Amino acid sequence: MKYDFCYYNPTRIHFGKSALDNLGAELSSYGDNILLMYGRGSVKATGLYDEIMAILKASGKKVTELSGIKSNPTYAQLQEGARLVRENDIDFILAVGGGSVIDCAKGVSVAAYCEGDAWERFWINGEEPTERIIPVGSVLTMAGTASEMNGGSVITNEEVMLKNGKVFGPAVYPKFSILNPEYTFTVPKNQMVSGIYDVFSHLCEQYFSGDDDNTTDYLIEGVLASLITAARAALKNPEDYEARSNIMWCATLGLNTVTGLSKTQDWEVHMIEHQVGAYTDCPHGLGLAVVSIPYYKHIYKYGIDKFVRFAKNVWNIDTDNMTKDEAALAGIEALSAFIRELGIPQTLRELGATEEMLPKIANSTVLGGGYKQVTADDVLAILKEAF
């Protein structure tokens, strides 16, 4: 383990079929004014909304609602939530949904009493909040982002065409999260595979980072192996509880910061996709999948030993009679085959991108990288290959 670190995660996880039974007790520690945030109606269609409202009523809570949170939550929606917090003297925010709803809830929690422009302070300058933070809890209905156990908040500002992420400190982490894998059974296949690849990409961003052969790498390989097995089972039977529970826990482990300890990390696939999403509003995981293969082909030579290890330890490829280049590319091709197996689109065109968007996306991408620091020209070449 090359770098010093301090690990602390304050989120309490309730996992399993009876997880929702803990909601009332968790809320008893907070005031009576609740802001309930959710998406576009699936929580009502499944009956989960009614279950939660019954618990809130029995707990004596007064509920204000903010619905319609988009899959790429916007700064305008965040500002509306902040207004509701102030006007209704909200004590606690309960996010019911996937990572987008939870990300937006965290944004609301820090923006409500922010002095100055929250977008500029937090999502541009990367500041930590110094004003009052409204506590957040979550009931997870889609696995993918691990927002249920981290400080991440990815928001799209449509006025300036930027999709930026801010990772807040533990004060902004959800106080608790309720994870019942059964809530993911009704997620449409397109969203399920998008979430699965989002998990895969989180792990790869931490794995292909330039800090090789530490304990964290072995953890990542194990979680990837579990995710691949569970994804294949869930494709066959979306109501396979064991498969969906493994996917859900892989998602949480994938970005609750434990798999990034003592790693510099990469995140350039995410930086490119964020801007693809800002221009196309495509599902995040699908955009990541399309960008990943050309990106890894672009940088693999700079971390070739790790890509060989990826082929051997994640995909079980016999590399004994291969050159390092052949082995590394075989691992990338195995990933490409897995993306096709998931049924994910193969090109940016299929996600709504146009050729005219590509230079704009490249020039607005936050540049970085692990094994290789990319330039705007590099990003444009990757986008053209993905197009």
Do residues 124 and 326 touch, judged by C-beta distance below 8 A? Answer: no
Instruction: Name the burial class of residue 79, with classes exposed (0-12), middle (13-18) and buried (19+) by CB atoms within 10 angstroms of its CB.
Output: middle
User: Two tokens at 130?
Assistant: 């110094």
Q: What tens digit of pLDDT does each residue of 78-105 get?
A: 999 999 999 999 999 999 999 999 999 9
Q: Return the residue matching tokens 């895969």.
A: 200
Q: Are 90 and 27 in contact (CB under 8 A)?
A: no
For residue 206, the tally of other CB atoms under 10 A from its CB is 26
Q: How far apart are the first and last CA of the chain?
A: 38
Give the chain's mean pLDDT: 96
pLDDT of residue 383: 98
Closest CA to 250 of 222, 292, 275, 213: 222
User: What is the pLDDT at residue 41?
Assistant: 81
Residues shown for the chain: 387
Average pLDDT over residues 138-163: 96
Across the range 151-160, mean pLDDT stands at 96
Count Cα atoms within 13 angstroms, Cβ side, for 189.
Answer: 12
pLDDT in tens, 326-348: 999 999 999 999 999 999 999 99
Give the whole-angstrom CA distance, residue 62 versus residue 92: 11
Average pLDDT estimate for 221-226: 98
| Separate counts of helices (H) and strands (E) for the chain | 15, 8
Is the pLDDT score of 211 beyond 90?
Answer: no
User: What's the CA gap between 145 and 106, in Å, rounded?
Assistant: 14
Which tokens sit at 377?
């020209």
pLDDT at 233 over 80: yes
All structural domains of the chain, each given as residue ranges with its CATH number in brackets, are 12-183 (3.40.50.1970), 188-386 (1.20.1090.10)
For residue 210, the model assigns a pLDDT of 75
Neighbours of 65 (CB within 10 A): 13
Q: What pLDDT is stored for residue 213 in this prediction? A: 78
Q: What's the confidence (pLDDT) of residue 1? A: 79
Q: What local confidence, expressed as pLDDT, does residue 14 receive?
A: 98
- Average pLDDT for 285-312: 97
Determine the 3-state secondary structure of 308 from DSSP: helix
Average pLDDT over residues 364-377: 94
Q: Is the pLDDT of residue 372 over 90?
A: yes
E strand residue ranges, 152-238 = 152-157, 162-167, 176-179
Query: What share of the chain has pLDDT > 70, as a percent?
Result: 100
Closest CA to 273 of 127, 106, 72, 75: 72
Segment 129-140 mean pLDDT: 98
Tell me what pLDDT residue 209 has. 87
Question: CA 101 to CA 77: how far, in whole Å?
Answer: 10
pLDDT for position 242: 98
Work out the pLDDT band at 28, boundaries 50, 70, 90: very high
Strand partners, 66: 37
What's the rounded Cα separation, in Å, for the pair 35 and 81?
8
Reported as a single tens digit per residue, the pLDDT across 44-82 is 999 999 999 999 999 999 999 999 999 999 999 999 999
Residues 6+ apart with CB under 8 A from 68: 39, 40, 77
Q: Indicate if the pLDDT at residue 212 is higher than 80.
A: no
Confidence of residue 19 (pLDDT cuts 50, 70, 90): very high
* Strand, helix or coil for residue 246: helix
